[in-house]
């Protein structure tokens, strides 16, 4: 009996020892200890490199914001100048209704870090929306120095129109030079604008054959961009139908049937976020409304540029209801929309009862220009 009691007591002692070991495993710092987070052990250079990859491929501002709110360390490293300099065009997209001082500070921070997209977007907003002409043009020039094609083209449009100044401030030769630089970088609107300038002899010696070559190149790049961005459209095939324009139907070998200016129904290219902002800004009365008394917006839906003075943009002399900041916008709007709406009128009069068509750049864009777009 004594032996059995000893065995039972020994078993209890054994089990109690197991319980003590379990308690020690939970409470003893020698066993558990504080293991540092593996993320904290990563060097800052590696984290910054990862964030650069994220910002360069971000599809929206929300992708970046979600990273910043994750932890204090990511929030700090997310504002590193190298990370901001790599921010993608879509990450810098801002809606006009969401515009605020904090949004402007963030774009300025990205621009100061050397991000050309931020320079261009903030430059466009300041020049056209906030009417801070000097600062806006300076930011666009900063991006243009880094061979940013949209900035080069926007500065060309400003030179062609003398935007922000008087009619005498137009510099056609400077506009052509900027346009040529943007065209060399493959900017489609710049190629189209340069082609029309060469065909018209506008700011450059007239060369119809060379101008036509630039127009064909612009349309070829436009088609290539559509094919690369929307591969599903290849199976649809609806916009690849050949519908020759009237003056091409009876001519042999007049052009490639896959080019939009030659009758192919290529969809309109997606507007740059900066142009989308301009359009939203001037359509939203709470943020800015109309550009000003007697001022008009470019009639091309993907542009959004407003006049900086009365009669700055050229107006269609056929119907008098549309006006454009550039030949490129006129060409796009003509084939996308206005061709079906333009109706000949005997005379059109502006708000003050004066004929706006002076034919020298601050007035009409005649029927010959419409034919130029079609050819």
- How many Cα atoms within 13 Å fall on the side-chain side of residue 134? 0
Q: What is the DSSP string of 273-335?
A: HHHHHHHHHHH-TTTT-SSSTT--B-SSTTT-PBPSSTT-SEEETTTSS-EESSHHHHHHHHH
Backbone angles phi, psi at 289, to 5 degrees: 70, -145
pLDDT in tens, the chain (375 residues): 555 555 555 555 554 554 554 444 444 445 455 566 787 888 889 999 999 999 999 888 888 889 888 889 899 999 999 999 999 999 999 999 889 999 999 999 999 999 999 999 999 999 999 989 999 999 999 999 999 999 999 999 999 999 988 888 899 999 999 999 999 999 999 999 999 999 989 999 999 999 999 999 988 888 887 777 655 545 454 444 444 444 444 443 333 444 455 445 566 678 899 999 999 998 875 545 567 778 888 988 889 999 999 889 988 878 878 899 998 888 888 888 888 888 876 554 544 444 443 334 444 444 434 433 333
Residue 352's pLDDT is 47
Q: Please, is 89 exposed, middle or buried when counting C-beta atoms within 10 Å of its C-beta (0-12, 13-18, 19+)?
A: middle
Closest CA to 52 of 26, 91, 15, 14: 91
Closest CA to 240 of 267, 222, 220, 215: 267
Residue 10's pLDDT is 55
Residue 17's pLDDT is 52
Considering the entire predicted model, what is its pTM? 0.76
Residue 41's pLDDT is 84
Residue 354's pLDDT is 43
Residue 245's pLDDT is 45
Instruction: Give CA–CA dist 153/191, Å, rounded.
Output: 10
Backbone angles phi, psi at 323, to 5 degrees: -150, 155
Closest CA to 331 of 364, 299, 309, 359: 299
Instruction: Give CA–CA dist 357/363, Å, rounded.
Output: 4
Q: Contact at 8 Å (CB) between 139 and 155?
A: no
Residue 286's pLDDT is 53
Instruction: List the beta bridge partners of residue 306.
Output: 297
Phi/psi region, residue 359 (left: phi>0; alpha: psi -120 to 50; beta: rest), is: left
Residues 6+ apart with CB under 8 A from 41: none
Backbone angles phi, psi at 208, to 5 degrees: -65, -40
Orientation angle between helical segments 188-200 and 149-161, nearest 10 degrees: 40
Residue 321's pLDDT is 83
Residue 2's pLDDT is 52
Secondary structure letter of residue 168 according to DSSP: G
Buried b (16+ CB within 10 A) or exposed e, 335-358: bbebeeebeeeeebeeeeeeebbe
Instruction: Give CA–CA dist 228/221, Å, rounded.
Output: 10
Pairing of strands 314-316, 323-324: antiparallel
Q: Give the dihedral sign, CA 298/300/301/302.
A: negative
Residue 339's pLDDT is 82
């Amino acid at each position: 009996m004594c032996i059995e009691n000893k065995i039972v007591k020994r078993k209890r002692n054994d089990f109690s020892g197991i319980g003590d070991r379990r308690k020690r495993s939970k409470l003893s710092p020698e066993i558990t200890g504080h293991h540092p987070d593996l993320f904290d052990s990563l060097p800052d250079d590696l984290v910054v490199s990862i964030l650069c990859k994220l910002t360069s491929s971000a599809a929206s501002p929300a992708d970046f914001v979600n990273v910043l709110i994750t932890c204090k360390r990511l929030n700090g490293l997310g504002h590193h100048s190298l990370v901001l300099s790599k921010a993608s065009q879509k990450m810098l997209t801002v809606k006009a209704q969401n515009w605020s001082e904090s949004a402007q500070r963030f774009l300025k921070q990205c621009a100061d870090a050397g991000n050309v997209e931020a320079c261009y977007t903030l430059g466009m907003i300041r020049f056209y929306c906030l009417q801070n002409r000097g600062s806006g043009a300076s930011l666009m020039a900063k991006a243009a120095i880094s061979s940013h094609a949209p900035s080069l083209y926007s500065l060309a449009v400003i030179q062609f129109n003398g935007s922000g100044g008087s009619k005498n401030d137009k510099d056609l030769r400077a506009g052509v030079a900027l346009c040529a630089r943007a065209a060399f970088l493959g900017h489609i609107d710049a190629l189209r604008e340069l082609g029309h300038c060469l065909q018209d002899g506008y700011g450059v010696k007239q060369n119809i054959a060379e101008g036509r070559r630039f127009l064909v190149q612009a349309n070829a790049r436009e088609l290539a961009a559509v094919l690369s961005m929307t591969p599903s459209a290849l199976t649809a095939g609806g916009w690849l139908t050949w519908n020759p324009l009237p003056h091409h139907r009876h001519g042999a070998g007049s052009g490639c049937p896959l080019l939009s200016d030659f009758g192919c129904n290529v969809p309109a290219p997606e507007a740059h976020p900066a142009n989308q902002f301009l359009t939203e800004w001037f359509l939203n009365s709470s943020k800015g409304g109309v550009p000003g008394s007697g001022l008009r917006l470019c009639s091309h839906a993907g542009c959004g540029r407003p006049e900086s003075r009365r009669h700055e943009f050229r107006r269609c002399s056929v119907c008098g209801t549309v006006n454009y900041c550039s030949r490129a916008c006129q060409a796009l709007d003509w084939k996308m929309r206005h061709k079906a709406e333009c109706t000949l009128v005997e005379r059109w009069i502006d708000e003050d009862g004066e004929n706006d068509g002076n034919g020298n750049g601050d007035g009409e864009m005649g029927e010959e220009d419409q034919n130029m777009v079609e050819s």
